[in-house]
């Protein structure tokens, strides 16, 4: 089976192509519409009464937004970073969310147990050698007919030009896309559609960028003083009196388990 896709034009009445009309692609430079991904996902996925697994939940910001809609039966939010997981365990006001520790390549859940699996910008953080296993695990834990929403950043855009100075993700993002294509070609998951759009990132100043992008617990960014200064200067080239706004190209591969 070949990898095939379908793209969405968010602005122009969701103009689509059939799955047979275009091969899967890692990016679409022509898609520049700005989209709130949570709103897009709520419109695209059947969340009502669903049991949902979020892989790589991070600070659980999207977890909270989804839980507060009241549409979902349960969210199991998995995080591999032990420091962040311990912080997530302190969350006490989301009774329908259960935080769990682990990685996508070894999901601590039974077969056929989730209606929806979500990955927000996290597949490329899975070790490359384990990406195929992560896709296999997603297929294993999805119920027959269940859907996976795999959202990945496209290697383009001004923010990427800053970030790549100290953390170039080109190879791992390409490897993540290749793993998705491999899973689709193998038939463990089928492609429903591909969505391409931009999201917005805003930073008041470089200190805020430093805290959110460099001083993170899931990666050990040890920047030499000269490199740190280079990153600072590159970031500040986009800075205005109102702060720095970036529009970041994204891709979603929506996959379905057979049955």
pLDDT digits (tens, 9 = 90+) for 20-40: 334 899 999 998 899 999 999
Q: Considering the chain, what is the average pLDDT of its residues?
A: 90
Which homologous superfamily is 4-154+169-198+250-256 in?
Answer: Vaccinia Virus protein VP39 (3.40.50.150)
Question: Tokens 């989730």, residue?
Answer: 114
Say what percent of the chain tops pLDDT 90.
Answer: 86
Write the DSSP assignment of the chain as a string of letters. ---EE---BTTTTTB---TTSEE--S--TT---B--HHHHHHHHS--TT-EEEEES-TT-HHHHHHHTTS--SEEEEEE--HHHHHHHTT--S-TTEEEEE--GGG--S-TT-EEEEEEES-GGGS-GGGHHHHHHHHHHHEEEEEEEEEEEE-S-SHHHHHHTTT---HHHHHHHHHHHHHHHHHTSSEEEEEEEEEEEEEESSHHHHIIIIIS-SSS-----HHHHHHHHHHHHTT-BTTBEEEEEEEEEEEEE---
Would you state the pLDDT for residue 5? 34
Of the pLDDT bands very low, low, confident and very high (cuts 50, 70, 90), residue 198 is very high
pLDDT, tens digit, for every residue of 91-105?
999 999 999 999 999
> Across residues 130-155, what is the average pLDDT?
98
Tokens read off for 227: 């490199």
> Are the CB atoms for 177 and 26 separated by under 8 Å?
yes
Would you state the pLDDT for residue 218? 66
pLDDT, tens digit, for every residue of 200-246?
999 999 999 999 999 876 666 789 999 999 999 999 999 999 999 99
Torsion of CA 28, 34, 38, 39, to 10 degrees: -110
Question: Considering just the CA atoms, what is the radius of gyration of the chain in Å?
Answer: 18
Of the pLDDT bands very low, low, confident and very high (cuts 50, 70, 90), residue 18 is very low
Would you state the pLDDT for residue 10? 34
Question: Tokens 């839980």, residue?
Answer: 67
Strands 22-23 and 4-5 come out as: antiparallel
Would you state the pLDDT for residue 15? 34
Strand partners, 98: 76
* Ramachandran angles phi, psi of 203, nearest 5°: -130, 130
Cβ-in-10-Å burial (0-12, 13-18, 19+) of 78 comes to buried
């Amino acid at each position: 089976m070949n990898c095939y896709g379908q793209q969405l034009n968010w602005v122009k009445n969701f103009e689509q192509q059939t799955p047979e009309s275009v091969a899967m692609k890692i990016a679409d430079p022509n898609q520049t519409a700005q989209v709130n991904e949570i709103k897009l996902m709520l419109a695209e996925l059947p969340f009502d009464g669903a049991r949902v697994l979020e892989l790589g939940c991070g600070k659980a910001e999207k977890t909270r937004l989804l839980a507060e809609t009241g549409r979902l039966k349960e969210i199991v939010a998995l995080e591999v970073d032990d420091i962040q997981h311990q912080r997530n365990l302190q969350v006490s006001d989301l009774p329908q969310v259960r935080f769990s520790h682990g990685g996508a390549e070894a999901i601590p859940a039974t077969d056929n147990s989730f209606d929806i699996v979500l990955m927000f910008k996290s597949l490329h953080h899975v070790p490359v050698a384990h990406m195929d296993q992560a896709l296999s695990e997603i297929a294993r834990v999805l119920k027959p007919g269940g859907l996976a929403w795999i959202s990945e950043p496209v290697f383009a855009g001004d923010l990427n030009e800053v970030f790549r100075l100290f953390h170039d993700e080109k190879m791992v993002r390409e490897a993540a896309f290749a793993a998705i294509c491999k899973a689709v070609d193998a038939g463990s998951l089928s492609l429903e559609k591909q969505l391409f759009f931009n999201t917005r990132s805003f930073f008041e100043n470089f200190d805020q960028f430093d805290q959110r992008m460099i001083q993170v617990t899931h990666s050990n960014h040890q920047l030499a003083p000269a490199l740190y200064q280079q990153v600072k200067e590159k970031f500040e080239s986009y800075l205005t009196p109102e702060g720095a706004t970036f529009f970041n190209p994204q891709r979603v591969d929506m996959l379905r388990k057979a049955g």
